[in-house]
Structure 1
Amino acid sequence: MPRDPRAYLWDVREAVADIQGFVAGLDLSAYVASGLVHSAVERKFEIIGEALNQLAKLDPVLAERVPRLPEIVAFRNQLIHGYAAIAHERVWATIQTALPTLAETVQALLTELGEE
């Protein structure tokens, strides 16, 4: 039985909230200095990318409504396969600029679909 598409959106929403909690009160230098924090953040970005990748396979029409989905999946792939070349500044910039928009989009989609 296929997974409910909302489940992937729930996973994204939870991972976004976790990232925001992990970095609350930090600046870039504190983020970079904490191996624990940036490892946890990267793992949550991997979950976000994989959840959206699976959503795109299950419900491409719904997935198309997530802005920059291919870039998010590519970012996930870079984190997993190119882990040795991760620029903490890029991850930090993504947290600051792209994560709020993703959070808003996912919440809007869940509200529209009925969260249950």
Structure 2
Amino acid sequence: MSGDEVYVRHILESISAIEEYLVGGRREVLERDRRTRAAVVRELEIIGEAATHLSPEFQAVHPDVPVDKMIGMRNKLIHEYFGVDLDVVWKTAVEDLPVLKQSLEGVLSF
């Protein structure tokens, strides 16, 4: 298993965890439950950290994988932890991550 594959699997594991935390798709859970919010934010941080380890070769072959955006989200969450925008977290979780998951599952199927 290549290093890139390991990091892609880590990203997919974090996406699956977020899906579990937000089962039912209710935003209120994210807003009202501090543990859920902390868990989702942590998994997004892990996704971004794993993305920092994806090789330039991987990025060149898979330009549809938004590595820079994943890293940017991680940086925002780490450095602005008191100012985390739940609108952005929610949008990322319910709109962006399903698309990312599909792309990364396609990467692993080769």
Cα separation, 1, equivalents of 2:108 and 2:65: 15
**Greater Cα shift, 26-35 or 101-110:** 26-35
* Partner SS state of residue 98, structure 1: helix
How many residues align structurally?
A: 107
Residue identity opposite 1:36 in structure 2: R
1:61 Cα offset (Å): 2.2
Distance in 2 separating the partners of 1:30 and 1:8: 28
Structure 1 stretches of at least 4 aligned residues deviating more than 3 Å after TM superposition: none
TM-score (structure 1 length as normaliser) = 0.86
Indicate the residue corresponding to 2:102 in structure 1.
104
- For residue 56 of structure 2, the aligned residue among 44, 54, 60 is 60
User: Who is 1:41 aligned against?
Assistant: 40
Q: Is 1:7 aligned to residue 6 of structure 2? A: yes
CA distance in 1 between partners of 2:59 and 2:34 (Å): 32
Structure 2 partner of 1:78: 76
What's the RMSD between the two structures over aligned residues? Answer: 1.3
What is the identity percentage for the equivalent residue pairs of Structure 1 and Structure 2?
26
Post-superposition CA distance 1:19-40 (Å, at most 9, x none): 0011001411221001000100
